[in-house]
Amino acid sequence: MKSIKNGLMAVCMALLFEPVVAQQGVPVHDQQMNAFIGSLIRKMTLDEKIGQLNLLTSTMAVTGPTMQKGYLDDIRAGRCGAILNAYTPDFVRKLQDVAMKETRLHIPLLFGFDVIHGHKTIFPVPLAMASSWDTALIERAARISADEASADGLDWVYSPMVDIARDPRWGRVVEGAGEDTWLGCKIARAYVRGYQSTDLSSDSAVMACVKHFALYGAVEAGREYNVVDMSRRRMFEDYLPPYKAAIDAGAGSVMTSFNTINGIPATADRWLMTDLLRKQWHFNGFVVTDYNAITELIPHGVAGDKAEASALAMHAGVDMDMMGLSYIETLKKLVEENKVPLSEINRAVRNVLVAKYKLGLFKDPYNRMSEQRAKQMIMSDANLSEERETARKSIVLLKNDHEVLPLKKSGTIAVIGPLADDQRDMIGPWSGAGDWHKAVGILEGIRDAVGDKAHILYARGANITDNADIRRQLNASGGNLTPSDQKPEALLSEAVTTAKQADVVIMCLGESQGMTGEAASKADIRIPACQRKLLKAIQAVGKPVVLVLSNGRPLVLTWEEGHVPAILETWFLGTEAGHGIADVLFGDYNPSGKITMSFPYAVGQIPVYYNHKNTGRPRNPDSKYTSKYLDIPNAPLYPFGYGLSYTHFAYSNLKVENPVLHPGETLKVSVTVTNDGNYDGEETVQLYVRDLVGSVTRPVKELRGYQQVFFHKGESKTLHFTLTDNDLSFYNDHMKWTVEPGDFKVFVGGNSRDVLEAPFSIKK
């Protein structure tokens, strides 16, 4: 190994000390990098260049990770630049050895993996973590994920997903931050900072990959891989900003989305990948496709074969092909036939090599493969403690009539439902290298919390679903939906008998992890029918019921809201899920989460989101010819920013210090918040604005600030907010980012619906 390292260093030093032409205004480090990469590219054959653009996959077998022999041959031949799904220090080191010992130029491999919400220590799914509104917490979760992933041999993670999503039928809402652009930007930056740290070349940093570029969260009908069609205004106002926020934070790579955008698949869209991403936003990293996306240009109908698809993607600005084998099979001939210029190949290979340079791989290709670090870092007590804190802070209390919660650790407690004694579903979808056997289920967490202070009864009550078609589809893709050996009627009867013996019933219902995530769109987003039947039967027993939901999307909970006294939204909370849920159920932690995606009153409202436009005929229940439904409210059941506490927060005395502003002046707002309940607790105090008259129509509210403040019971605090011109700006009728004079309103409250308001204006 020492001789290999010495040989590599000799090559690197020789390249680094080639004459460097001084570049005015370019830092010395960047000049050295440019010289190194330029010299290396000049030494590469066309086959070796194209090889760097080819991303292949490893697989995880029962006996451990493995690599197809053909793919190993590709590495030896210089036909592979990166590998996904390969981890563990020993395995990754063996693959890197092939590149470093058996290839002509000893160019190191790049190792990537879907580290979406944790590597081995699995954190809450991203939609859950967003409900914490705590960007420092999210950044720490990403940092721990990077620590574990890098120790396990990984350089590159396919996260964050920053797609704005307003349709909960789409399964991948679970991977994002919800419906709001402004908050989505803050969360995107937190992930990138956490993954990449302050020095991307350090052995504990991994390169972020921003996805899915672009607009993937707006797919029609919430159906996976579907088309997107929207105006440039909506793109720039609502959907594009989180991608740019992540890029401005320094994200090293971007992944293309599967969808078309106004008729052009993203992977073939030069305006998107080059004009916008590189020329306007000055992105200097590399672009990788999603899995097989280049080949899929053929069924999209914009390419007739792989060669044509490759040419379109390369010209658009796509640097690396993930598992489509399109580039490796077609690019050489395309260059020889002058259908793809060599300059585009050089651009792509340079972007990939620069990423490897910034990651420090040319200096030490083995710097992220440490058995010792892996043993110290992975699933350490400190990491699990942080995960538990993140889990309980992600929980949202949706309802708590008659103060059913928190529960006492006494008496007889029945825990009922198919998700109660369940470990696999607790870590959720996209849990990658996570080991669900090490996850804490809800029943286990409750038992740990109460010890011998209370008597715990358990009954499954129902299967997760009795829909055979859903079960077949999910089990075929590795789901865990094996029905109980008991017949549904027997399960239900046992649960009712169990509930009658209890003082209080905890119902653990919702979705399996396979019902959300990629390729898990659903037209019916209610709790599955067999579970609804169970809930109604238990509710009829007459005991206090607490509904604990495990799910990865907003659900339609109209019946539940009307009949169940307490509802706790716990999402999929990760490795320490059961402990985090028990902490909240028994009052060891006062819930403080706030939803970042509106829960619809009915599926027919979708898309439903708080920052909609007013229309020329806003809703008026007393006038037929206004914008409304005849049968349901316009408003969602639970609005963006909503979440209760075991205590109560009263808002008063909203003041605008300077209600008449001139451009360039700051708006100063204050509000008094009082904890007038019986518990200490944290409140997320939210500030929204509305521009009443603009050159284009403006939303009824837009989030522009929030503060998370802890209050002792009985305590009052006056909070202060300051807004700048940028907080009040928008794209005007000429698509120019500007603030316009006129009348405004400011709103402050505990969610987007229940607010105080005050006027202010901006004068010319």
Please list the active-site residues. Answer: 290
What is the Cα–Cα distance from 421 to 407, expressed in whole angstroms? 19
Alpha helices, DSSP H only, in 406-528? 442-450, 468-476, 488-500
What is the Cα–Cα distance from 328 to 50, expressed in whole angstroms? 6
Residue 679 neighbours by CB under 8 Å, 6+ apart: 587, 590, 645, 646, 647, 713
Kindly tell me the burial class for residue 288, based on how many C-beta atoms sit within 10 Å of its own C-beta (0-12, 13-18, 19 or more): buried
Q: In angstroms, what is the C-alpha Rg of the chain?
A: 27
Kindly tell me the burial class for residue 634, based on how many C-beta atoms sit within 10 Å of its own C-beta (0-12, 13-18, 19 or more): middle
Neighbouring CB atoms inside 10 A of 655's CB total 16
Strand 660-661 to 755-762 pairing: parallel
Q: Which residues pair with 683 in a beta bridge?
A: 709
Quote the DSSP letter at residue 427. Answer: G
What is the Cα–Cα distance from 242 to 173, expressed in whole angstroms? 15
Beta carbons of 109 and 84 less than 8 angstroms apart: no
Neighbouring CB atoms inside 10 A of 214's CB total 27
What is the Cα–Cα distance from 462 to 628, expressed in whole angstroms? 38
Quote the DSSP letter at residue 364. Answer: -
Residue 282 neighbours by CB under 8 Å, 6+ apart: none
Q: Under DSSP, is residue 532 helix (H, G, I), strand (E, B) or coil?
A: helix
CA distances for 501 relative to 263, 457, 541, 567, angstroms: 60, 9, 10, 21
Beta carbons of 405 and 647 less than 8 angstroms apart: no
Report residue 644: phi and psi, to 5°: -95, 175
CA distances for 197 relative to 120, 154, 200, 353, 728, angstroms: 19, 15, 7, 20, 31
Q: Under DSSP, is residue 463 helix (H, G, I), strand (E, B) or coil?
A: coil
C-alpha 9: how far from its chain's center? 39
What is the Cα–Cα distance from 542 to 501, expressed in whole angstroms? 11
C-alpha 694: how far from its chain's center? 33
What is the Cα–Cα distance from 291 to 257, expressed in whole angstroms? 10
Beta carbons of 461 and 492 less than 8 angstroms apart: yes
Report residue 689: phi and psi, to 5°: -130, 160
Beta carbons of 178 and 640 less than 8 angstroms apart: yes
What angle (nearest 5°) sits at the alpha carbon of residue 116, between those of residues 115 and 122?
Answer: 80
Residue 100 neighbours by CB under 8 Å, 6+ apart: 4, 8, 106, 108, 365
What is the Cα–Cα distance from 158 to 572, expressed in whole angstroms? 20
Positive or negative, the CA dihedral 303, 305, 308, 310 is positive
What is the Cα–Cα distance from 59 to 65, expressed in whole angstroms? 6
Element at 358 (helix H, strand E): helix 342-358
